């Protein structure tokens, strides 16, 4: 077992991430969604008690957002969206710290100029790569949309970012307790987010890469397996709660199988070829960064070394530009390839991590002054070239966030839910003041109307009914529980698997 090491970290690693997290939280708080939106409807309807179906997915998200149901109805949405903004800000803080913890000893050019402990970037502008990465990731459209709406994606990402950060931190101090917590949190994350199942090979390879041969010691494997399985026990939480308290009539095992089925369906719904394309600007750059490349590749001639250096610079430049371009959501970006069904925030996160590393690479290799022991001084042409490359990186740093802000801010504002909010207000005004039963086959508009009525403290006067669910007995039990004196009760309890026919509904509702 590696001995623990005390590591002294500077401003960029310790305080800058907190500053970034606070700053982006302020941005998200200003642009926070104050209206009912489609992306946040599932969370709001569950927390507010409008959803009758059993909730068996994302147990960690359900447990953490459950207390928001105790808030007054008018501010539940605000509290949930602020929680999402806090998770997004924490993710960007961890991203900035992860960029600052990346080693800059992967190539010969880096090793020639970076002499700090653990090869952490020590140049005077070492703050720029973490800030650049956080800005690109934080202003990316999918990230921004899920930061201001309680969709659950921000919570999944903060867990993912914590796992990545833990591996980088372990590289420095070798604290075995970090890996124990890593296994536990990863197990919990699998139960909360199906995408973490797909990331299992990547995290496993990263563990083997960091631990080396010590990974294969049976004590380590046993400890990590037991702790990981303990995290997977979260799969049992919601089925146990729902089977004992819900009116759906489903058993514990039926609910558990439903959860597994939904995760399997989500994993299989993504074509493998699309995953491969999206990995080119997310996972592939991280694999390249992880390799410590040798000084030579067999050819020790000056021409061979020059070509090797040129290819190294070219690869870093391609990754920097490609990952930056994908953040603007071209046709081959995760947002478009998934058709908007999945956010794929971890892929954008890894792309931003690569952007921060590559920016640091160019600032270090082309911007650092040669040490006093350097045997060769750069020519005027080389100095001019170095200056141009460093200037180009700073130009990206200034132009890319500004362009993303210009492009994405209007979209975020347009998707704030103002239109559905106005429609709900007009619908609420049209309802009879003495109360009514409102039927609709659009559950989203029903929930928006429910939110508007609760803000006006008149929701108990109205029974909002989703006609698509009326054939299910469990939905009637849900309404009977909410309105015991106003919704008709069964003449006799329907059997398992019963579906009401239209004639049954007419006779029941006309009594």
* pLDDT tens, position by position, 367-386: 877 655 455 567 788 889 99
End-of-domain residue from the set 414, 446, 468: 414
Residue 283 lies in a domain: yes
Residues 356, 393: one domain?
yes
- Position 102 pLDDT exceeds 70: yes
Residue 36 lies in a domain: yes
Residues 391, 427: one domain?
no
446 CB contacts (<8 Å, ≥6 apart)?
438, 440, 464, 465, 466
Residue 238 token pair: 């919601």
Residue 264 lies in a domain: yes
- Position 484 pLDDT exceeds 50: yes
Residue 168 lies in a domain: yes
Asked whether the beta carbons of 448 and 424 are under 8 A apart, the reply is yes
Q: What confidence tens digit (pLDDT) does each residue in 35-88 have? A: 888 888 889 999 988 888 878 889 999 999 999 999 988 799 999 999 999 999
End-of-domain residue from the set 383, 414, 445: 414
| Domain interval for residue 456 | 418-509
Per-residue confidence (pLDDT) for residue 250, from 0 to 100? 79
DSSP-assigned letter for residue 329 = -
Residues 237, 185: one domain?
yes
User: Considering its fold, how many domains does the chain have in total?
Assistant: 2
Residue 498 lies in a domain: yes
- Position 1 pLDDT exceeds 70: no
- Position 165 pLDDT exceeds 60: yes
As a whole number, the mean pLDDT across the chain is 88
Q: Which of 166-180, 285-299, 391-405, 419-433 has the lowest mean pLDDT?
A: 285-299
**Strand blocks (E) in 210-351:** none
Residues 477, 405: one domain?
no
Residues 49, 146: one domain?
yes
188 CB contacts (<8 Å, ≥6 apart)?
60, 159, 231, 232, 234
Q: Read off the pLDDT band of 2 (50, 70, 90).
A: very low
Residues 33, 182: one domain?
yes
435 CB contacts (<8 Å, ≥6 apart)?
461, 462
**For every residue of 168-194, which 3-state class applies, written as one string?**
HHHHHHCCHHHHHHHHHHHHHHHHHCC
Q: What percentage of the chain reaches a pLDDT higher than 90?
A: 55
Separation CA 150–CA 71 (nearest Å): 15
Q: Which of 249-253, 417-421, 453-457, 473-477 has the lowest mean pLDDT?
A: 453-457
Residue 332 lies in a domain: yes
End-of-domain residue from the set 388, 414, 440: 414
Residues 228, 318: one domain?
yes
Residues 184, 145: one domain?
yes
Residues 123, 236: one domain?
yes
Residue 1 lies in a domain: no
Residues 195, 177: one domain?
yes
Average pLDDT over every residue of 295-311: 72
Separation CA 103–CA 33 (nearest Å): 38
Residue 36 token pair: 């009912």
Q: Read off the pLDDT band of 308 (50, 70, 90).
A: confident
Separation CA 63–CA 70 (nearest Å): 13
Residue 266 token pair: 């989500």
Q: What confidence tens digit (pLDDT) does each residue in 113-151 have? A: 888 878 899 899 999 999 999 999 999 999 999 999 999
Residue 133 phi, psi (nearest 5): -60, -45
Residue 3 lies in a domain: no
Average pLDDT over every residue of 156-182: 95
Residues 480, 409: one domain?
no
Residues 17, 35: one domain?
yes
Separation CA 319–CA 395 (nearest Å): 17
């Amino acid at each position: 077992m590696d001995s623990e090491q005390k590591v002294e970290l500077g401003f960029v690693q310790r305080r800058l991430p907190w500053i970034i997290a606070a700053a982006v939280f302020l941005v998200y708080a200003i642009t926070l969604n104050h209206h009912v939106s489609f992306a946040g409807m599932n969370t709001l309807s569950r927390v507010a008690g409008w959803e009758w179906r059993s909730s068996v997915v994302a147990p960690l998200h359900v447990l953490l957002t459950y207390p928001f149901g105790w808030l007054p109805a008018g501010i539940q949405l605000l509290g949930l969206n602020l929680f999402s903004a806090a998770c997004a800000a924490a993710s960007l803080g961890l991203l900035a710290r992860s960029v600052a913890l990346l080693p800059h000893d992967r190539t010969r050019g880096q090793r020639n100029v970076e002499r700090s402990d653990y090869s952490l970037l020590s140049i005077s502008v070492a703050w720029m790569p973490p800030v650049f990465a956080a800005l690109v990731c934080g202003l990316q459209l999918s990230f921004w949309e899920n930061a201001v709406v309680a969709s659950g994606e921000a919570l999944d990402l903060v867990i993912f970012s914590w796992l990545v950060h833990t591996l980088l931190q372990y590289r420095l101090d070798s604290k075995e307790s970090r890996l124990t917590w890593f296994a536990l949190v990863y197990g919990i994350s699998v139960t909360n987010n199906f995408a973490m199942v797909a990331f299992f090979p990547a995290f496993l390879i990263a563990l083997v890469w960091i631990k080396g041969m010590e990974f294969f010691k049976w004590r380590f494997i046993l400890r990590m397996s037991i702790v990981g399985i303990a995290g997977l026990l979260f799969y049992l939480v919601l089925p146990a709660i729902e089977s004992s308290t819900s009116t759906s009539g489903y058993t514990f095992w039926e609910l558990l199988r439903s959860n597994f089925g939904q995760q399997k369906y989500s994993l299989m719904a993504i074509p493998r070829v699309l995953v491969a394309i999206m990995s080119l600007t997310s996972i592939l750059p991280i694999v390249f960064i992880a390799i410590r490349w040798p000084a030579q590749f067999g050819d020790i001639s000056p021409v061979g070394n020059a070509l090797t250096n040129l290819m190294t610079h070219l690869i870093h430049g391609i990754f920097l530009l490609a990952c930056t371009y994908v953040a603007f959501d071209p046709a081959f970006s995760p947002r478009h390839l998934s058709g908007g069904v999945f956010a794929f925030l971890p892929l954008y996160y890894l792309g931003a991590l690569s952007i921060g590393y590559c920016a640091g690479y160019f600032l270090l290799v082309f911007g650092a002054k040669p040490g006093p022991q350097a045997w060769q001084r750069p020519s005027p042409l080389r100095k001019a070239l170095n200056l141009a490359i460093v200037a180009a990186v700073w130009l990206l740093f200034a132009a890319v966030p500004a362009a993303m802000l210009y492009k994405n801010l209007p979209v975020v504002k347009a998707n704030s839910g103002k239109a559905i909010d106005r429609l709900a207000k007009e619908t609420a005004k049209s309802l009879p003041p003495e109360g009514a039963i409102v039927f609709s086959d659009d559950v989203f508009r029903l929930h928006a109307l429910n939110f508007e009525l609760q803000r006006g403290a008149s929701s108990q006067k109205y029974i909002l009914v989703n006609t698509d669910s009326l054939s299910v007995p469990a939905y009637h039990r849900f309404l009977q529980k909410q309105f015991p004196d106003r919704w008709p009760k069964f003449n006799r309890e329907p059997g398992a698997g019963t579906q009401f026919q239209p004639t049954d509904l007419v006779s029941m509702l006309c009594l």
